[in-house]
Amino acid sequence: EPEVTQTPSHQVTQMGQEVILRCVPISNHLYFYWYRQILGQKVEFLVSFYNNEISEKSEIFDDQFSVERPDGSNFTLKIRSTKLEDSAMYFCASKPTGFRNTEAFFGQGTRLTVV
């Protein structure tokens, strides 16, 4: 069964450093998403991406975040200057279409720890 894959599974970084989280969505999917989940809290939507541009973003997705689909298969989330409060699980998801009544497929997540 096709799946969304994320690397690395765990990333530790120092405060102020830049990190790039990587995702390979399912190959024929067109819509891509990043979510985050701070330990013990809800899963929160960050951003959606379609046709090489951001479609929607939440208020969490500020100027320190950026997304890119550099080569037609990878989908990356960059955090420019990490803060302690960026420590969380980051989930990538993809969907085949933009219709809301299609399921989203999630990856297993990257645990980001900022020290």
Partner 1 sequence: DAKTTQPPSMDCAEGRAANLPCNHSTISGNEYVYWYRQIHSQGPQYIIHGLKNNETNEMASLIITEDRKSSTLILPHATLRDTAVYYCIVRPEGGGADGLTFGKGTHLIIQP
Of the candidate residues 7, 17, 56, 81, the single one contacting partner 1 (CB under 8 A): 56
- 3-state SS, residue 11: strand
Is residue 27 part of the contact set for partner 1 (CB under 8 A)? no
Q: Residues near 2 by Cβ (< 8 Å), separated by ≥ 6?
A: 26, 27, 105
Question: Which residue, 16 or 98, has its beta carbon nearer to partner 1?
Answer: 98
Which secondary structure element, helix H or strand E, spans residue 68, and what is its range?
strand 65-68
Interface residues toward partner 1, by CB under 8 A: 4, 31, 33, 35, 37, 42-50, 55-56, 58, 89, 91, 93, 98-101, 103-109, 111
